[in-house]
Amino acid sequence: MSENKTHGNGKIPRCRIGLYICHCGTNISKMVNVVRIAKEMASHPDVVVSREYKFMCSEPGQELIIKDIEEHNLDRIVVAACSPLMHEPTFRTTVERGGLNRYLFEMVNIREQCSWVSMNREDGTNKARALIRGALARVKFHESLEMRRVTIGRRVMIVGGGIAGIEAALQIADAGYEVILVEKEESIGGHMAQFDKTFPTLDCAACILTPKMVAVGTHPRIRLMTFSEVEEVQGYIGNFKVKVRKKARFVDPELCNSCGSCYEVCPSQPYPKDRQLIIGDKVYKKGPRPKPRLAELLKQASELAAPTDAQPIPEQEGAELP
């Protein structure tokens, strides 16, 4: 960056940019006038070098960029070629070999976004010109970045204990990582636990799901947190700090063997409150919530203990009491 010029309330950096436009054989040049754009962009105030080449990703094309960086003292590079998914790492390495920071580089996709989607050469050329002008304006604000290595925690948190979360937890745990599986409901299994058959083979859903649920519960590298919800996530990739709220169960999970006796006599509202059979948008069967069994037992006990209006039978000698 050589100098700054004031524009409005801020400063626009002045750079020495090298622009390279690729023909990609005929993939780009068939619908984009590459030669004309390269000549037009040579008059851009920040462009020092503007070139077009048959295959920029080839070794001669990369050497052309490295040579121009050294000879023209370039401090920014723009390459208009194919998808960054394919060759952005290639050109970043090339820029680095030329002595620049790898992030002082901008790539424009004029193959997939211009040539391959245009039916008219003039339209493809105009769109490519606009994208390249945007890249030239953007690259001036790029800053040098340095890569660094940091230690990461070898633990994975999976939110959701459905069949997808269960399978992911087992796969990751078998690969040697510690897994924390968080499920908001009282049990894992998700919607698959509600199915009878699975599409398209009509296999028994429980036959597939139950062994995996047992495997999750007994796996030494999986920590299962049911009836819990994620409340807060902090940190960054590789080092997250997650706050999980574990809801009260009012039973000791270490002693519970899931016999269901406490559920039957619990005086609180049962869950779920309503039972419905829903297929698509239509409710086929809907039933009221079941009454707690404890209430029935208490009612029966109160009826047995209540006084009656019947007169007591007097005791008589030799008579048997009913």
Here the CATH number for the domain that contains residue 27 is: 3.40.50
Q: What is the band of 256 on the pLDDT scale with cuts at 50, 70, 90?
A: confident
User: Is residue 310, in this structure, part of any structural domain at all?
Assistant: no
Last residue of a domain, one of 139, 172, 206: 139
In whole angstroms, give the CA distance from residue 279 to residue 282: 6
**In the predicted structure, residue 289 carries a pLDDT above the cut 70:** no
Q: Are 125 and 36 in contact (CB under 8 A)?
A: yes
Q: What is the pLDDT of residue 274?
A: 62
Q: Are both 103 and 77 inside the same structural domain?
A: yes
**In the predicted structure, residue 104 carries a pLDDT above the cut 70:** yes
Q: Are both 242 and 269 inside the same structural domain?
A: no
Q: Are both 228 and 108 inside the same structural domain?
A: no
Q: Are both 162 and 218 inside the same structural domain?
A: yes
Per-residue pLDDT of 124-169, as tens digits, reads 999 999 999 999 999 999 999 998 888 888 899 999 999 999 999 9
User: Is residue 308, in this structure, part of any structural domain at all?
Assistant: no
Could you tell me what percent of the chain has a pLDDT over 70?
81
User: Is residue 18, in this structure, part of any structural domain at all?
Assistant: yes
In whole angstroms, give the CA distance from residue 102 to residue 227: 47
Q: Are both 270 and 177 inside the same structural domain?
A: no
**In the predicted structure, residue 219 carries a pLDDT above the cut 90:** yes
In whole angstroms, give the CA distance from residue 271 to residue 264: 11
User: Is residue 289, in this structure, part of any structural domain at all?
Assistant: yes
User: Is residue 306, in this structure, part of any structural domain at all?
Assistant: no
Q: Which residues of 14-23 are buried (b: 16+ CB within 10 A; e: fewer)?
A: ebbbbbbbbb
- Mean predicted confidence (pLDDT) in 84-94: 95
**In the predicted structure, residue 318 carries a pLDDT above the cut 70:** no
- pTM score above 0.85: no
Looking at the structure of the chain, the number of domains it has is 3
Q: Are 38 and 50 in contact (CB under 8 A)?
A: yes
Report which listed range, 2-6, 36-40, 286-290, is most confident. Answer: 36-40
Q: Are both 109 and 8 inside the same structural domain?
A: yes
Q: In 3D, which of 19, 75, 28 has the Cα closest to residue 51?
A: 19
Domain assignment of residue 235, given as a range: 155-246
